[in-house]
Structure 1
Amino acid sequence: MLFAKERIKTMKLTLIRHGQTDLNKENRIQGGGIDQPLNETGIMQAQQAAKNFDISGYDLVYASPLKRARKTAEIFVHDEKPIHFDERLKEMDFGEWDTLRVIDLYKKYPKGFTSDGYIANGYLRYAPSGESFEDVAQRASEFVDELIDKYPDKNVLVVCHGTLIKTLVAHYFANGNLDIFRQVENCAISKFVFEENRRQVQMYNHVIG
């Protein structure tokens, strides 16, 4: 007797970084404690990307509650889907470094950065009230694990933040090694597949327009 093969449940996850803010434009640190809105360029970035993005195939939409992510999500969704907000999707909190210029911090605290000029865990000695990458990975992966558990066969869109996305991807696909992945661009799209015994990066840091 032949038995029908059980269908493999596949959750598809799309992560989108928010559009540009004035702090992004000035290359200043912008963490979870800073609630900057999109600037004019950021709104245009989101609108252009959304023109080439089909929201109809998504079952669920989540976003960080911060203004820059919220507005980006609204532009992509076009009022076609409800947006669910989750505090765990906020950007990494950089503590005392928030709003400061990256170039100034790099010159003053080189041990707080990687050789490529990205913030490293060593920054906490200079900004002790900030979060570690491990903290961010824990709260963000807890959110994704819940999605996998609740919606194992759904297509989910999440609009959030650059460092959070990079940290999440490193957690699931590189044992936490952040050096493998580039920083995520404004309004860039990353896509992933989660199955019971398989995870796959389908797209990373792709800007559509």
Structure 2
Amino acid sequence: MTTFYFVRHGETTINKAQCFNGGGVDSALTPAGLAAADRLGDYLGDQIFDAILTSPLQRAQTTAEHLLAQSRVVQPALTIAPQLREMALGDWEAQPVAAQEKHPQFDNYFHHPDLFEADQIHAESYQAVLDRAMTVIDQAQQAYPEGNVLIVAHGIVLLFVMGTLLGVPFSAIRDQKMVANASLSILEGQGQPYEKVLWNKTV
């Protein structure tokens, strides 16, 4: 079976400001975010990966680089997977979350992905995000049917990919809590549903 190690990028300045941090913005990691990535890298220091895939956004790449810098074993080079880019949030990019609470799509965005009308804020739909991200997962599973694959990506991308692998209905995926910055979740399997080995661990 394939074992996926899913890591969300470290805290960024936009995260810290409690603003929307979609695929159209890419602020730097905070000192706390960098330190957390280093700690997680040390935690994973003896784990050998068959492939390491990261979003093209710098916050994810920087996190992946810090993880690799702490490795005590030889690892494969980073592979950039554009399909792992965070969901594009259009008009809400880098805007304070609290400032959008009265928007007609606010509740759907946070609670009803099947009802979220992305075009109302010039954003990407949840289904589009899931479809593109799952191509990476499917290809990795085919390429490494008995391997260990590290995925470094973003909150929404990981929420929907992991929820789908675990068999959570699309309409209910937003009922799950977003995993923390610089967190590790491990899922393993050969087909859906996957088994949850570790969830949302931070060090």
TM-score by length of 1: 0.86
The question of 1:13 aligning with 2:33 is answered no
Q: 1:64–1:160: 8 Å Cα contact kept in structure 2?
A: yes
| Aligned counterpart, 1:186 | 181
Structure 2 unpaired stretches of 5+: none
Equivalent residue number for residue 124 of structure 2: 131
Aligned to 1:69: 60
SS of 2:25's partner is coil
Is 1:113 the counterpart of 2:107? The answer is: yes
How much is the aligned-residue C-alpha RMSD, in angstroms?
2.0
Spell out, residue by residue over 1:64-111, the C-alpha distance to the aligned partner (whole angstroms, 9 max, x if none). 1111000100011127421111100111111111010001111x2154
Q: Distance in 2 between matches of 1:197 and 1:178?
A: 15
Task: Verify the 8 A CA contact 1:62 1:85 in the aligned structure 2.
Answer: yes
* Identical positions, percent: 25
Larger Rg, first or second structure (1 or 2): 1
Query: Residue type matched to 1:19 in 2?
Result: G
Say how many residue pairs are matched: 195
Which TM-score applies when normalising by structure 2?
A: 0.88
SS in 2 for 1:31: coil
Alignment partner, residue 14 of structure 2? 23
The yes-or-no answer on 1:100 pairing with 2:112 is no
Asked if the contact 2:51–2:148 (Cα under 8 Å) also holds between the matched residues in 1, the reply is: yes
Matches within 5 A, 1:39-50: 39-50=30-41
Rounded to whole Å, the distance in 2 between the matches of 1:139 and 1:120 is 20
2:40 is the alignment partner of 1:32 = no
Report how far residue 57 of structure 1 moved.
Answer: 2.0
Deviations 1:107-156 (A, max 9, x none): x2154225xx83654352531x2111111110011110111111111100
Residue in structure 2 matched with residue 167 of structure 1 by the alignment: 160
The residue matched to 1:118 in structure 2 has which SS? helix
Change (3 A) 1:34 1:120: farther
Q: Distance in 1 between matches of 2:32 and 2:191?
A: 40
In 2, Cα distance between equivalents of 1:89 and 1:196: 20
> Structure 1: how far apart are the matches of 2:60 and 2:45?
18
Contact 1:64–1:90, Cα closer than 8 Å, also in 2: yes
Matching residue within 155, 180, 199 for 2:148: 155
CA contact (8 A) 1:55 1:77 kept: no
Q: Distance in 1 between matches of 2:4 and 2:179?
A: 16
Deviations 1:24-82 (A, max 9, x none): 00010011111222121211111122222235321111111111000100011127421
- Tell me the residue number matched to 2:139: 146
